Amino acid sequence: MNSLPFERRLEILADSAKYDVSCSSSGSNRRGAPGGVGSTTSAGVCHTWTADGRCISLLKILLTNACIFDCAYCVNRRSNDIPRAAFTPDEVVRLTMDFYRRNYIEGLFLSTGVTRSADHTMEQLIAVVRKLREEERFNGYVHLKVVPGADPLLVAEAGRYADRVSINIELPTRRSLALLAPDKPREAVIAPMRQVSDLIASARAERKKSRKAPPFAPAGQSTQLIVGATPESDREIITLSEGLYRRLDMKRVYYSAFVPGSDDRRLPALPTPPLLREHRLYQADWLLRFYGFAAHELLDEDRPNLDMGFDPKSDWAVRHLDLFPVEVNLVDYEVLLRVPGIGVRSAQRIVAARRHARLGEAELKRLGVVLKRARYFLTAGGRYLGGIRLDGAGLVARLLAPEKRPARLDQLELFPAHADASALTGEL
Amino acid sequence: MTACYRYDGTFEGFLCALAACRESGGAEAEFLRPGAESGAGLFAAGSLDVATERETALRFRERFVTAVSREAFATLRYAFHSEAAGVEQLVWRYVALGLKKGRQVQRMLAQEPVCSVHRLSRRVAHEAHRFTGFVRFREVAWPADGELGGEAGRDRPEVPLMYARIEPDADILPFIAPYFRERLGDRPWMIHDLRRSALALCDRGTWRLVGGVSLAGRPDYTAGEEVCSRLWRSYFQHMAIPERHNPRLQQSLVPLRFRAHLVEFGGEE
């Protein structure tokens, strides 16, 4: 496995890592220790974008793509006939430093196939990050995968070196996990998640008492799940995410449209990955985290799936027309956030500006508020901006009309790069 | 009559011009960088050359920060570096309003000149942020002994020099230089703004700006540099998922005008 030339192994291990969605380098704000190399910024930085439009922020790589597990959805499953390769910890460290110095990347995202045992694999990952921090004095961002089933002591050690740790939940329900990942019991995923969540909370409490207390995964933990490989509804997925955010204080849940890569009979036959569904789930996820929506407001038993023609906020607003229109000069910030087309930045600007001047349509435009959708739900100084009657059918037609979708459904821009307000708006 | 202030084109110089204008109590004013012609024509008073003095600039900044706020000063600084036509007049009106109204200027977002200054400022801040990701350093070999001449050659550090080229729309070097000093503090480096012939230079933890720079020849990249950029290109290509191919999205995120200096897009081959 290690006899292949370095460049070839890099190709293999990058290929095997690309389906892991997590890309962010945000949330950590450590100053570089003097004499060291690198730092992190809380806003995160994207360095480039691949031909599929996904950002590259970190060197996302596997230590090895050999794996003793046989998860049906995974490209690295034992039964898959692909070339295998491995890096030594030293090689990963050197590559990370070389790439970082040239400003190709923000840091390292290290994952791996499971070899020998969960503990052995976890030790290998920790060896890399320890070398980076202690020998190279590297202060940049490091995201480390936790191997399900690894010893709690190793999990604790990983979080002392890394900015973020993550354990992939992969599938929304126990039933699906048992079907597609028979080697990965749900407890092996949930138990370390809970442990990480507790360790983050207690490290945060210690840091409040003393600045010298060691941080634990200061950028929090994240997870990802695969969409479309199993029959779960959007409601099941969004409710699960809500629980992960509220109960485990998860920083991010990533959704990955299933890319069919095997003819395993347990998997559905999909012509293309469900990219639009993935996009709608991210929109709903944003509503949970930054707009004060609850999962049950977006989806319920009668409507278990998100509307594919309509973004979830517009969809919600159209079902609650009795609450609209609202007066832009009067209503609370929380209500403004619920107006389709008004985002966190616009709402903040409106709240600041209206303390000084009464806002009409011209003022809203000057603030940079995009009124395309918002106008149907707003009055400004008592004047309704929509120009049509606020009844169901006509409104939906108007809302949908300008958004002519291309024939091919492309992945939309999820992570625009912006300066420092990102911590508030959720942009990365 | 419109008073006309000629300054050296730097932000510090501009602050001195603002201070001078403020002192003479002028309401109508025009600010000219080197080479710029007055637009006031017949109504122009004789132009006044303003000397750039660090003390004056610092005092003026202090005065504005006390009267308004640190954030408002940061906003106008970003806006100034947009180099947009007429930005000096715009910032001048913003400063005058700020000194009159105090802190509440930051909330007057729906009014001119505040909203225009904020818009420019956001654009520059956004571009500076983009370039924290888009700068690509390359390892350059130091010229062999003797080539640099006696004085310069003597104090040569052991580690290689990191060199980067950029062509941003706005003058963002002053914003990104401190950022890279923190990151790459253990190496000497320079970022070369080709469009403005300016250079941010950093050595041993301190950085400075140098203007009017041009290269005598092509930089001499090290052997390690060639290997590393090849690995990066290959890595970049292998990260794309063919089933999700979406070049239009890619182009909106990495506009073509930046690609000439990005290794992974074949820049500088």
| String of DSSP letters for chain B | -EEEEE--SSHHHHHHHHHHHHHTT-SSEEEE-TTPPPS-GGGEEEEEEPPP-HHHHHHHHHHHHHHS-HHHHHHHHHHHTT--TTHHHHHHHHHHHHHHHGGGGGG-TTSTTHHHHHHHHHHHHHHHHHHHHH---EEEPPPPTTTT-HHHHHT--SSPEEEEEE--SS--HHHHHHHHHHHSTTS-EEEEETTTTEEEEEETTEEEEE-S---SS---B-HHHHHHHHHHHHHHHHHS-GGG--HHHHHHHS-HHHHTT-GGGTTT-
pLDDT in tens, A96-116: 999 999 999 999 999 999 999
Which value, to the nearest 10 degrees, does the dihedral of the CA atoms of residues A264, A270, A272, A274 take?
A: -110
Give residue B219's pLDDT band: very low, low, confident or very high (50, 70, 90): confident
Percent of chain B with pLDDT over 70: 88
Residue A170 has pLDDT above 80, yes or no: yes
Amino acid A304: pLDDT: 94
Question: Which pLDDT belongs to residue B144?
Answer: 59
pLDDT bin (cut points 50, 70, 90) of residue B149 is very low
pLDDT at B40 (0 to 100):
57
C-alpha B60/C-alpha B121 separation (Å) is: 20
Least confident window among A222-231, A387-396, B1-10, B208-217:
A387-396
Q: What is the pLDDT of residue A333?
A: 96
Q: What is the pLDDT of residue B42?
A: 54
User: Residue A119 pLDDT more than 80?
Assistant: yes
Minimal Cα distance from B109: which residue of A? Answer: A353
Bin B268: left if φ > 0, else alpha if -120 < ψ < 50, else beta: left
Q: What is the mean pLDDT of residues B243-261?
A: 90
Binary contact (B232, A410; C-beta < 8 A):
no
| Cα first-last separation, chain B | 55
In this model, does residue B38 exceed pLDDT 70? no
**Average pLDDT across chain B, whole number:** 86
**Residue numbers in B near A36 (CB within 8 A):** 185-186
ipTM greater than cut 0.95: no
Chain B residue with the nearest C-alpha to that of A43? B129
Nearest CB among B119, B182, B238 relative to A11 is that of B238
- Sorting pLDDT into bands at 50, 70 and 90, what band is B266? confident
Helix/strand/coil (H/E/C) assignment for every residue in A62-105? ECECCCCCCCCCCCCCCCCCCCCCECCHHHHHHHHHHHHHCCCC
Interatomic CA distance for residues B149 and B220, integer angstroms: 18
Strand partners, B188: none
pLDDT for residue A415? 42
Residue A243 is classified by DSSP as H
Nearest beta carbon to residue A419 from set B119, B129, B134: B129
Q: What percent of chain B stands above pLDDT 90?
A: 49
Q: Is A256 helix (H, G, I), strand (E, B) or coil?
A: strand
pLDDT of residue A295: 95
Which chain B residues are closer than 8 Å to A10 by Cβ? 231, 234-235, 238
- Percent of chain A at pLDDT > 90 equals 61
How would residue A132 be classed by pLDDT, with cut points 50, 70 and 90? very high
Mark which residues 57-96 of A lie under 8 Å from B by CB. Answer: 57, 59-60, 95
Partners of A11 on chain B (C-beta within 8 Å) are 234-235, 238
User: B186 and A35 in contact by Cβ < 8 A?
Assistant: yes
pLDDT at A422 over 50: no
The per-residue pLDDT for range B48-104, each reduced to its tens digit, is: 888 888 889 999 999 999 999 999 999 999 999 999 888 998 999 999 999 888 888
User: Mean pLDDT over all residues of chain A?
Assistant: 87
Task: Indicate yes or no: CB of A349 within 8 angstroms of CB of B235.
Answer: no
Structure tokens at B208: 């400075």
Average the pLDDT over A280-292 and give the result. 95
- For residue B236, give the nearest of A50, A272, A366 by CB distance: A50
Integer Cα distance of B184 and B188 in angstroms: 8
Distance from CA of B81 to the nearest CA of A (A): 16
Contact assessment for residue B129 and residue A417, using Cβ atoms and an 8 Å cutoff: yes
Residue A273 sits at the chain B interface (C-beta within 8 Å) = yes
Query: Within a 10 A sphere around the Cβ of B237, how many other Cβ atoms?
Result: 13
> pLDDT-based confidence at B45, cuts 50/70/90?
low
**Does the structure show a pLDDT above 70 at B147?**
no
Alpha carbon of B238: minimum distance to chain A alpha carbons (Å): 6
Task: Name every residue whose Cβ is closer than 8 Å to that of residue B36 and which is 6 or more positions away in sequence.
Answer: none
Question: What 8-state DSSP symbol labels residue A322?
Answer: G
- What pLDDT was estimated at residue B26? 67
pLDDT tens for each residue of B229-243: 999 999 999 999 888
CA geometry: angle A296, A297, A302, nearest 5 deg: 70
> Residue A402 has what pLDDT?
54
SS (H, E, C) B89-103: HHHHHHHHHHHHHHH
Least confident of A39-43, A317-321, B71-75: A39-43
Which chain A residues have a beta carbon less than 8 Å from that of B119?
A: 368
pLDDT at A251 over 90: yes
pLDDT given for residue A1 in this prediction: 63
> Among all residues of chain A, which has the CA nearest to that of B244?
A52
Which residues numbered 234-263 in B keep a CB inside 8 Å of some CB on A? 234-250, 252-254, 262-263
Q: How far is A327 from B79, CA to CA, in rounded Å?
A: 32
Q: For residue range A224-247, list pLDDT tens digits in order.
A: 999 998 999 999 999 999 999 999
Best mutation target among B192, B235, B251 (most A Cβ atoms within 10 Å) is: B235
Q: Which residue has the higher pLDDT, A32 or A296?
A: A296
Tokens of B248: 């239009």
Task: State residue A419's pLDDT score.
Answer: 38
B185/A contact by beta carbon, under 8 A:
yes
pLDDT of A306 higher than 90: yes
Using DSSP's 3-state secondary structure scheme, residue A107 falls into strand
Contact check, Cβ <8 Å, A59/B235: yes
Kindly tell me if the per-residue pLDDT of A411 is higher than 70: no
Query: Which residues lie across from A56 on neighbouring strands?
Result: A48
Q: Residue A325's closest CA among A248, A398, A400, A378?
A: A378
- Kindly report whether the peptide bond that precedes residue A325 is cis, defined as omega within 30 degrees of 0: yes
Structure letter (DSSP) for residue A44:
-
Query: Are A411 and B245 inside 8 Å of each other by CB?
Result: no
What is residue A129's predicted lDDT score, i.e. its pLDDT? 96
Residues of B whose CB is below 8 A from A421? none
Q: Please choose, from the candidates A252, A246, A180, A182, the residue with its C-alpha nearest in 3D space to the C-alpha of residue A217.
A: A252
For residue B165, is pLDDT > 80? yes
Give contacts of B247 with chain A, Cβ < 8 Å: 51, 53
Which secondary-structure segment (H or E) carries A199?
Answer: helix A186-209
Give the max Cα distance, chain B. 66
Cβ atoms A425, A65 nearer than 8 A: no
Higher pLDDT, residue A201 or A264: A201
pTM: 0.87
**What's the DSSP call for residue A320?**
T
- Which chain A residues are Cβ-neighbours of B230 within 8 angstroms? 7
Q: Do B184 and A101 touch (CB under 8 A)?
A: yes
Task: State pLDDT tens for residues A6-16.
Answer: 999 999 999 99
Q: How confident is the model at residue B28 (pLDDT cuts 50, 70, 90)?
A: confident
User: Does residue A276 sit at the B interface (CB-CB below 8 Å)?
Assistant: no
Q: Residue A421: is its pLDDT beyond 50?
A: no
